[in-house]
Amino acid sequence: MKLKALLFDLDGTLADTDRLHEQAWLEGLSRYGLQGDHTFYQTQISGGLNPEIVQRLLPQLSQAEAAAFLEQKEARFRELASEVQPLPGLGTLWDWAQEQNLRRALVSNAPRENAQYLLKRLGLVFDHIVLSEELPAGKPDPLPYRTALQALNIGPSEALAFEDSPSGIRSAVGAGIRTVALTTGHPAHALEQAGAFLCIPNFADPRLWAYLHKMG
């Protein structure tokens, strides 16, 4: 079936922001005596939903304290992301999608304030935005991607998703969508195991373009 839409995750997919989130998370957790490293971030935090992460890692915090922690963490992230740039090839892909009349949707676990900040920074405008925090369930549940398909009025076979985490890939694949993985934060084998059919370092990879031209 002909491709009609591209669905994108945000962090680690449109821009290489994972290490910035990692720094913000590990700084925040260290104030509570919880020392983590890159592996800890990848396995315990990356791709998750903020409230669930805090509840699991800092169960001693009250609801108000958890909210304050997350507000501080995200403010620190935005401070670190002030100079963030889009992944190589994203501009070319964006122009190609416009030429092909492909619709574009953002599907992210990011808080709305972060999403708005990064999209403004990257200069991107989507046809539709789906944020997990505004749904009954977030990634890795398929609901965010199913919601995007419904909003765009298309079927799973008419979409292509771009993700960077096993959690996000499971969400997209669980909704029946073919998924390309960006290797910005996780090794290719972990992304393939989650269900990605193609792993690329950025949007300039010729393997992606060979696939897109075949689909166009």
Which residues are part of the catalytic machinery? 9, 11
Q: Is 97 exposed, middle or buried (0-12, 13-18, 19+ CB in 10 A)?
A: middle
**What are residue 179's DSSP bridge partners?**
161
Enumerate residues 6+ apart whose C-beta is below 8 A from 47. Answer: 109, 139, 140, 165, 166, 167, 168
Three-state helix/strand/coil letters over 16-50: CCHHHHHHHHHHHHHCCCCCCCHHHHHHHCCCCCH
Closest CA to 191 of 6, 9, 57: 9
**Cβ contact 159:149 at 8 Å:** yes
**What are residue 180's DSSP bridge partners?**
162, 198
